[in-house]
């Protein structure tokens, strides 16, 4: 008999996280544990108000699935029963980890993915929205610590000034821009052209998801990536002509199972793949690594914003996320399971 545990956890941030939609000083995550025969799988999700998700509503979704989870539903069955979103992500990742623990395999093997290469994987470090001086200082600090891929959060204000200052502080870094839907009404042709000299690798979600048709009517000298406009595999075919890339996030699509389907569908449709994240702990980031290994751009820096991560945690250094350690169980309470997760094939 399985047993499902659910917990809401608030994670304070080490510093404010600011995007075009607002600022955050903490992030609230929902964590689940699925225990069976003394073994356990864990999952973590971050409810996002942009998608009408809140901790209480996600917990209601999880409770609605309790009987089926405890009766033995698997990840494929879960994908048919629940809509995409953070609640399904938490359960999907927990079920995959439970399967790994019960069969003596790694998460990579359960997901059917190649294991990570030695040395980790390059991940973006996000530059929170701020003044020109603040963002250029953050870029200089990130580069001094070894970051080679910087993600610039922007709104409509001082776009070129901020990008110019950041490029001056990070002349060798790869730069990507995330507008979080803030460039509605902007002359995109002129802006894209003006950004070209700064060698920008990609621009993420410049227009609102429900009003992005202008992307079909302007040239893309810089590749454009769908984030808010792309949640699950069924939406990918319709993105052609507007985007060159999709951002796969487990909390949007509903877990690693759907993320792998999305990666395959993107390849069929000729779209490149980025793997991103919401703010969250290493427990959430580790679940995305099997699909991130084959992605062109990886943005899994969520734990770098936390005042305290789970322990032990994924290792972040020199602009990479390393595979040396794995997150341990994090649910509280005297009955919380104690088995460690399986991370690598070693």
Annotated binding site for Mg(2+): 178, 204, 227
153 is catalytic: yes
Q: In the Cβ-directed half-sphere of 221, how many Cα atoms lie within 13 Å?
A: 13
Cα 39 to Cα 68, 94, 284, 330, 340, distances in angstroms: 18, 11, 19, 14, 9
Three-state SS at 178: strand
Catalytic residue, chosen from 151, 162, 249, 252, is 249
By DSSP bridging, strand 174-178 and strand 200-204 are parallel
Torsion, Cα of 108, 112, 117, 119 (10° steps):
-30
Place of tokens 């995330």: 178
Q: Which spans in 30-85 are helix H?
A: 55-64, 66-71, 75-81
Annotated binding site: 178, 204, 227
Catalytic residue, chosen from 151, 153, 162, 252, is 153
Contact in structure between 326 and 314 (CB atoms under 8 Å): yes
252 is catalytic: no
Active-site positions read: 153, 249
């Amino acid at each position: 008999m399985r047993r499902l545990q659910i917990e809401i956890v608030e994670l304070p941030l080490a510093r404010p996280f600011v995007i075009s939609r607002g600022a955050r000083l903490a992030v609230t995550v929902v964590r689940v544990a699925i225990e069976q025969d003394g073994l356990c799988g864990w999952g973590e999700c971050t409810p996002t108000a942009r998608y009408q998700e809140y901790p209480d509503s996600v917990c209601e979704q999880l409770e609605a699935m309790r009987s089926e989870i405890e009766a033995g539903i698997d990840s494929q069955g879960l994908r048919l029963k629940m809509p995409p979103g953070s609640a399904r992500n938490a359960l999907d990742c927990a079920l995959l980890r439970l399967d790994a623990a019960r069969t003596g395999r790694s998460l990579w093997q359960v997901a059917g993915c190649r294991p990570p290469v030695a040395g980790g994987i390059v991940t973006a470090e996000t530059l929170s929205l701020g003044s020109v001086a603040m963002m250029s200082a953050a870029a200089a600090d990130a580069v001094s610590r070894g970051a080679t891929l910087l993600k610039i959060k922007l709104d409509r204000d001082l776009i070129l000034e901020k990008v110019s200052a950041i490029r001056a502080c990070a002349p060798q870094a790869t730069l990507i821009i995330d507008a979080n839907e803030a460039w509605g009404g902007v002359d995109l042709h002129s802006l894209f052209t003006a950004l070209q000299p700064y060698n920008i690798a990609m621009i993420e979600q410049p227009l609102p998801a429900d009003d992005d048709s202008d992307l079909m009517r302007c040239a893309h000298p810089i590749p454009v990536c769908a984030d808010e406009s792309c949640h699950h595999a069924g939406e990918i075919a319709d993105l052609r002509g507007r985007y060159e890339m999709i951002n796969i996030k487990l909390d949007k699509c509903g877990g690693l199972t759907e993320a792998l389907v999305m990666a395959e569908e993107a390849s069929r449709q000729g779209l490149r793949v980025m793997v991103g994240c919401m703010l969250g702990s290493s427990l959430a980031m580790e679940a995305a690594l099997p699909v991130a290994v084959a992605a062109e751009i990886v943005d899994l820096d969520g734990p770098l914003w936390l005042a305290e991560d789970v322990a032990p945690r994924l290792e972040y250094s020199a602009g990479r996320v390393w595979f040396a350690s794995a997150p341990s169980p994090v649910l509280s309470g005297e009955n919380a399971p104690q088995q460690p997760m399986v991370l690598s094939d070693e």
